[in-house]
Amino acid sequence: MKAPIFLFALFFSLVNYGQQPYKKTLKLMGCHFEITLVAKDSMTANRQINTAVIEITRIEKLISSWDKNSQTSEINRNAGIKPVKVGVELFQLIKRALKISKLTNGAFDISYASMDNVWFFDGSMTEMPSKDIIKKSVEKVGYQNIVLNEKNQSVFLKKKGMKIGFGALGKGYAADKAKILLQKSGVTSGIINASGDLNAWGTQPTGKEWLVAIVNPLNKEKVFSWMPVNNSAVVTSGNYEKYVKFNNVLYTHIIDPRTGYPATGVLSVTIFTKTAELADALATSVFVMGAETGLNFINQLKGVECIIVNENNKMITSKNIQLKTIKND
């Protein structure tokens, strides 16, 4: 449902105060991960980055719906048949996902993976799908049909053919877990960036904050403003690279799991909060809700802020956001 887009410009000071940032870009979980750590030398940094890679790879094996040996695939295979006992980590991840589904009235839903593919964003679509086809595409979607049994630690999908997937929070969760592991191993500052799902901690070697740029969705060379990232996560979802247009309406690749129709009216959503997992899920949710409803929703949550760019390329912020505007000459 969600394909986060890399929107961030990170500003580094390379002045050497005994330590400096080391960066490595890798392909993990089917996307680009950029891991930046502040370390005393490249050997130390590479060893620590490898620790993060091992953790991210472990998470992928746990939540992948493509790996037939994963616990997630086992749950999907047994949809409509029987509950599947899973490990504590996956059970708790699904439990948190269901809480977000209830909180957002289904705007976020890990059973989105059950949707039939009726929308294509590769240029091949020439007309709108029919209402009947769209309605049928979401018949097996519905977080209410995911049954968790705390005692048995099992997961059951009620409908045969149902599937769950973690595309809307998996990379964020992996970034969070890698960050925790690195902090425990003594890394005092760094950034895990999973294709736009970003989690940062500590500061630059000079003591200055890490900064993230909020770019213009219609021109990624231009920056609207910048925000400091203080031991928190930032996730942006955007629709301006994958979309179709019918009757002068732009339909994004981010689809409302309740209706089967793509979200409209928003170009990008950036969420700031403590974990990339939560930010990832909320970015999708706000995109589906739309600018007005999404903003009202975020303003009711403690410790969460957002920046929305609407279809008119106007930037709207939640109540506690303070921006420093950057002029683009």
pLDDT in tens, 131-143: 999 999 999 999 9
For residue 168, is it within any domain?
no
CA 201 – CA 209 distance, rounded (Å) = 9
CA 147 – CA 162 distance, rounded (Å) = 12
3-state secondary structure of 125: coil
Half-sphere exposure of 319 toward its Cβ, with a 13 Å CA cutoff? 8
Q: How confident is the model at residue 324 (pLDDT cuts 50, 70, 90)?
A: low
For residue 195, is it within any domain?
no
- So what's the pLDDT on residue 41? 92
Q: What is the mean pLDDT of residues 234-242?
A: 79
Cα–Cα distances in angstroms (integers) from residue 198 to residues 10, 104, 235, 280, in the given order: 11, 22, 6, 9
* Structural domain that includes position 83: 71-157
Max avg pLDDT among 11-20, 232-241, 294-303: 294-303
CATH number of the domain that residue 151 is part of:
1.10.3980.10
CA 322 – CA 66 distance, rounded (Å) = 41
pTM of the model: 0.89
Q: What is the amino acid identity at position 296?
A: N
Look up residue 20 and give its two tokens.
């400096």
* Mean pLDDT value across the chain: 89
Q: How confident is the model at residue 219 (pLDDT cuts 50, 70, 90)?
A: confident
- So what's the pLDDT on residue 317? 93
- So what's the pLDDT on residue 121? 85
CA 14 – CA 22 distance, rounded (Å) = 10
Is 50 exceeded by the pLDDT of residue 11?
no
Closest CA to 37 of 54, 56, 50: 50
Burial 105-116 (b: 16+ CB within 10 A, else e): ebbbbbbbbbbb
3-state secondary structure of 149: strand
Q: How confident is the model at residue 4 (pLDDT cuts 50, 70, 90)?
A: very low
Residue 17 CB coordination number (10 Å): 11
Q: Tell me, what DSSP letter sits at residue 128?
A: P
List % helix, strand, coil for the chain (3-state, nearest 5).
Answer: 30, 30, 40
Q: How many domains does the chain have?
A: 1
Q: How confident is the model at residue 287 (pLDDT cuts 50, 70, 90)?
A: very high
Give residues with Cβ within 8 angstroms of 295, minimum separation 6: 286, 306, 308, 316, 318
For residue 117, is it within any domain?
yes
For residue 14, is it within any domain?
no
For residue 76, is it within any domain?
yes
Min mean pLDDT across 56-60, 223-227, 290-294 is at: 223-227
Is 80 exceeded by the pLDDT of residue 15?
no
Q: What is the mean pLDDT of residues 173-178?
A: 96
Q: How confident is the model at residue 18 (pLDDT cuts 50, 70, 90)?
A: low
- So what's the pLDDT on residue 151? 96
- So what's the pLDDT on residue 1? 42
Q: How confident is the model at residue 176 (pLDDT cuts 50, 70, 90)?
A: very high
Cα–Cα distances in angstroms (integers) from residue 140 to residues 28, 73, 136, 222, 310, in the given order: 29, 17, 9, 41, 31
Give tens-digit pLDDT for 46-97. 999 999 999 999 999 999 998 999 999 999 999 999 999 999 999 999 999 9
For residue 115, is it within any domain?
yes
For residue 194, is it within any domain?
no
For residue 62, is it within any domain?
no
Give residues with Cβ within 8 angstroms of 221, minimum separation 6: 215
Residue 281 has phi, psi (to 5 degrees) of: -65, -40
- The percent of residues in the chain predicted with pLDDT above 70, rounded, is 91
